[in-house]
């Protein structure tokens, strides 16, 4: 590299965030003619991580593809399964059940999305109309536990869905660690005890390890998790606390035995003071309870978690505390925070990996030279702020629209203040059947439609442009689409059978505890 190009990047912290940052940086900067940038990752043996099943969004596929990862090899090495969406139980009201599937609700017609065509029939009072979920191929597949990869070719029921993955987060980090180190990244094991700043401008010059080693660098990525060692501990970036509208501040996670049937979706079950997650992997099931400790005790939360398991627990629940929110600045001087160091949003819509991936992607796009022009940091911070706020609003939506009044927690959620941006989005859909997307890099119209309808918001009126469609002809068209989806899904293999043939992971010996609390 010539001129003022970055010569050395130091990543503080390993885990998912650290190695997701190291892999593409090593791929781009440590290889090829003329490249002279070092990528060094410092990982402490004293700091553990909570090994959980991780659920993702479909865009994880683009990250993997950009690295050139083989799909089957990745699935085998991370004990992964496929994910078509999220099943929600008990959200909105007791007994409620709906699905947030990945993909459209049938094809668009004359520029009108499939879900809007269904809404045209629903609001016209047509009787006997099936649920909008019948037009979501991903949802129909999930109901029947079926999966296959989307078919190539023109749009059809065989490719009218998208998919993501569930995987073991620890195994994914190890997989990317091997990838990054094979491409030139250097791993240093040690514990940081001091940070050295430049006298001239307050930039980080180096970090010092417990054994006395000094690791210098030009650019430092803070992947130290909630500790936020550099971005907060040194740069004092500040934190915007969103607890008032996202009151959950605790979680417990526990693995359990693999279920006999491998479901191709995540499950989120609302409980009296929060919600339970269930993430199926090839070798086990990941489970957790996200809750607010102002409305329940840790002991009761543990009981609810363990009682909600559908297979035998393999360990003791592990406790986690957090404050929902974001760093006011994720990039300060020559420090960029990635992952939990940059903020935390509960994993209700599987956005943790997405925020890491997009944070790294934006850094690659806005890579500075050693002058670190402030405009680059300003743009990075603007885009990260917009993404965090967009995801925040989407998650708050799940809580705010509740009609549950069976616990103090849900009564609080129904009454709590929400951002003006979210209030506008809800009111626009309720009044006129329109969905406004404020962040084009965030959740799309079908996702908002799934949540709004699933939580019981039915528009009072519809887009008048929809009235140009003849009702009877439109119903005939939609019924043809619904039958095509149903017929195509009926011919797909069982999800577990597909994985067994496509990318079965080797068996893993799971721990069996001597006793478990109940």
Q: How many CB atoms lie within 10 A of CB 226?
A: 13
What lies within 8 Å, CB to CB, of 508 at 6+ separation is 79, 283, 284
Handedness of CA 71, 73, 77, 79 (dihedral sign): positive
End-to-end CA distance of the chain: 60
Active-site residues, by number, are 83
Q: Which spans in 267-373 are helix H? A: 298-307, 352-365
Q: In which order are the strands placed within the sheet that holds 204-209?
A: 192-197, 204-209, 214-216
**Chain length of the chain:** 518
Q: How many CB atoms lie within 10 A of CB 87?
A: 20
**d(Cα 324, Cα 345) in Å, to the nearest integer?**
6
**d(Cα 513, Cα 314) in Å, to the nearest integer?**
6
With contact defined as beta carbons under 8 Å apart, do 106 and 160 qualify? yes
Q: What are the backbone dihedrals phi and psi of residue 488, each rounded to the nearest 5 degrees, phi first?
A: -65, -45
């Amino acid at each position: 590299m010539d001129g003022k190009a970055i010569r050395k990047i130091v990543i503080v912290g390993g885990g998912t965030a650290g190695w997701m940052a190291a892999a593409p940086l090593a791929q781009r900067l440590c290889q090829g003619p003329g490249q002279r940038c070092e990528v060094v990752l410092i990982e402490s043996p004293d700091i553990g991580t909570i090994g959980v099943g991780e659920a993702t969004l479909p865009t994880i596929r683009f990250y993997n593809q950009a690295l050139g990862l083989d799909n089957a090899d990745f699935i085998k090495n991370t004990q992964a399964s496929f994910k078509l969406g999220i099943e929600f139980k008990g959200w909105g009201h007791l007994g409620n059940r709906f699905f947030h599937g990945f993909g459209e609700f049938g094809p668009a017609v004359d520029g009108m999305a499939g879900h809007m065509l269904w809404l045209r029939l629903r609001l016209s009072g047509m009787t006997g109309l099936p649920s909008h979920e019948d037009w979501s191929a991903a949802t129909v597949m999930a109901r029947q536990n079926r999966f296959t990869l989307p078919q190539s070719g023109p749009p059809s029921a065989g490719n009218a869905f998208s998919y993501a993955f569930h995987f073991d987060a620890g195994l994914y980090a190890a997989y990317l660690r091997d990838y990054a180190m094979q491409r030139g990244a250097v791993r240093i094991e040690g514990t940081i005890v001091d940070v050295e700043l430049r006298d001239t401008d307050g930039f980080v010059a180096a970090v010092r390890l417990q054994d006395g080693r000094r690791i210098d660098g030009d650019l430092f990525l803070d992947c130290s998790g909630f500790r936020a060692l550099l971005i907060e501990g040194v740069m004092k970036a500040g934190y915007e606390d969103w607890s008032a509208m996202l009151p959950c501040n605790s979680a417990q996670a526990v693995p359990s035995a693999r279920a006999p049937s491998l479901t191709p979706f995540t499950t989120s079950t609302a409980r009296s003071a929060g919600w339970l997650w269930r993430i199926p992997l090839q070798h086990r099931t990941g489970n957790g309870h996200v809750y607010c400790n102002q409305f329940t005790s840790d002991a009761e939360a543990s009981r609810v978690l363990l009682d909600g398991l559908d297979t035998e627990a393999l360990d003791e629940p592990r406790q986690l505390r957090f404050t929902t929110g974001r760093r006011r600045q994720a990039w300060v001087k020559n420090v960029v925070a990635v992952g939990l160091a940059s903020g935390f949003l509960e994993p209700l819509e599987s956005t943790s990996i997405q925020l890491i991936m997009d944070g790294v992607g934006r850094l690659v796009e806005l890579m500075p030279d050693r002058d670190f022009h402030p405009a680059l940091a300003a743009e990075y911070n603007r885009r990260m702020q917009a993404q965090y706020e967009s995801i925040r609003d989407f998650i708050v939506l799940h809580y705010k629209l509740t009609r549950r009044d069976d616990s103090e927690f849900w009564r609080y959620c129904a009454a709590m203040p929400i951002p003006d941006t979210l209030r506008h989005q809800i009111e626009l859909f309720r009044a006129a059947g329109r969905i406004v997307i404020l962040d084009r890099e965030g959740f799309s119209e079908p996702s908002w439609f799934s949540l709004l309808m699933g939580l019981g918001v039915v528009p009072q009126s519809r887009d008048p442009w929809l009235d140009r469609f003849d009702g009877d002809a439109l119903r005939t068209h939609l019924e043809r689409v619904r039958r095509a989806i149903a017929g195509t899904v009926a011919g797909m293999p069982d999800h577990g059978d597909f994985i067994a043939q496509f990318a079965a992971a080797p068996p893993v010996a799971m721990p069996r505890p001597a006793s478990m609390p109940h």
